[in-house]
Amino acid sequence: MKVSPTPTAGFFSFSPMRCILYALLCCLPVCAFAAGTYPQTIREAGDRTVSVGKAYQRIISLYPAHTENLCSMGAARQLVGISRTDSFPEKIVELPRFSARDDAEKFIAHHPDLVLVRPMIERAYPELLKKLKKSGITVISLQPGSAEQMFDYWLALGILSGHQQQAQAMVAEFTQKSDLYRQKLEQRPLNTRPMVYFSAIHKKMKTFAEGSMALFVLELAGGRNVAGDATRVRSTNIAYFGKEKLLSRGEQIDIFLSQHGRMNPASREIIASEPGFKAIRAVREQKIYLVEEAIVSRPTMRLLQGIATLENILYPVADGNQKEKR
């Protein structure tokens, strides 16, 4: 069966009104977005309402996206600990490292007033979080479930860290720059945009679910998702597609993309040598591209870098200076 995915408009679709809004945001005086009075309210994972009574000054982050976003909004000095997998930005790599497998005493010894986690940690290590809360440490679980929830997530981090002005500026900048890609996208007829399979976890034949960061990046870069009917895995951003269905659409696939990182370490050679994958036209034509996981899957400003990277792959410049396959 031939599939013809259609792009979704969504929150990030371009409109003149949003350009006007961006201009107004840029023209407002600094005090307009200064940290407001407390308490303020945010929503954490599970749609729970949390009253924030102050800006926290000693933060341990157990998710690289939290760390990166806090640094982007100027809160790096408030970090007293990061996760074992944090590597960006470079200025934080010497901070003490923590894992949800550590005992509560290690956290308590560093005197944090806030520990930031995400739902996966909340589900897997409830006893740790219970002990931290019992000791008087605030624990907040955050992770946007879709690209459309990303701005609220940034604003929540701004409230928690006292950097609301900077969080608003991030929203404005991302809106303006993503709208430029949206305008460019609207100049490309749908039937001229390449069909793409985007691998999330190769060994499990999983792709990305509709609404995920990765598919938002793919859409704005000008690609069409061949696996739009993939089945979402629980409430995650991952979806099961299956090898049989993938191979059945092999001739439609112009580009084979694969995120590359801890979640999906598959190399280009592993993908190319997968039994049966010669049925995929992109594989036969050696159009397999690996893209850094952090710039397509994490809810940070670097998604803009991801869009630019994918656009360069999907629409190589005329002189052939396409991003090298890896």
Block means of pLDDT (10 residues each) for the chain, 326 residues, are: 38 46 44 65 94 98 99 98 97 97 98 98 97 98 91 98 98 96 95 98 96 97 97 91 97 98 95 98 98 97 98 79 46
Asked if residue 208 is part of any domain, the answer here is: yes
Residues 119 and 204 in one domain: no
pLDDT (0 to 100) of residue 92 = 96
The structure tokens 């990303």 sit at 150
Distance CA 79, CA 90 (A): 14
Q: 85, 84, 87: which is closest to 71 by C-alpha? A: 87
Q: What is the pLDDT of residue 37?
A: 86
292: in domain = yes
Domain check: are 217 and 296 in the same one? yes
Domain boundary among 162, 177, 202: 162
Cis peptide before 16 (omega within 30 of 0): no
Closest CA relative to residue 227, chosen from 204, 210, 211: 210
Structural domains of the chain, count: 2
> Rounded to whole angstroms, how far apart are CA atoms 304 and 295?
8
Orientation angle between helical segments 213-221 and 164-186, nearest 10 degrees? 40
Main-chain dihedrals φ then ψ at residue 301, nearest 5 degrees: -60, -20
Only one residue has tokens 């993503």, namely 178
pLDDT given for residue 148 in this prediction: 84
Would you say residue 13 lies in a domain? no
User: Is residue 197 located within the same domain as residue 235?
Assistant: yes
**Tell me, what's the pLDDT at 321?**
45
Domain boundary at 162, 197, 219, which?
162
Question: Which range marks the domain in which residue 152 is found?
Answer: 36-162
In a domain, 24, yes or no: no
Do 158 and 43 belong together in one domain?
yes
Kindly state whether residues 201 and 242 are assigned to the same domain: yes
pLDDT value of position 36: 66
Does residue 300 sit in the same domain as residue 209? Answer: yes
**Could you tell me the two tokens for 221?**
């870069």
Please check whether residues 134 and 241 belong to one and the same domain: no
- CATH code of the domain in which 67 resides: 3.40.50.1980
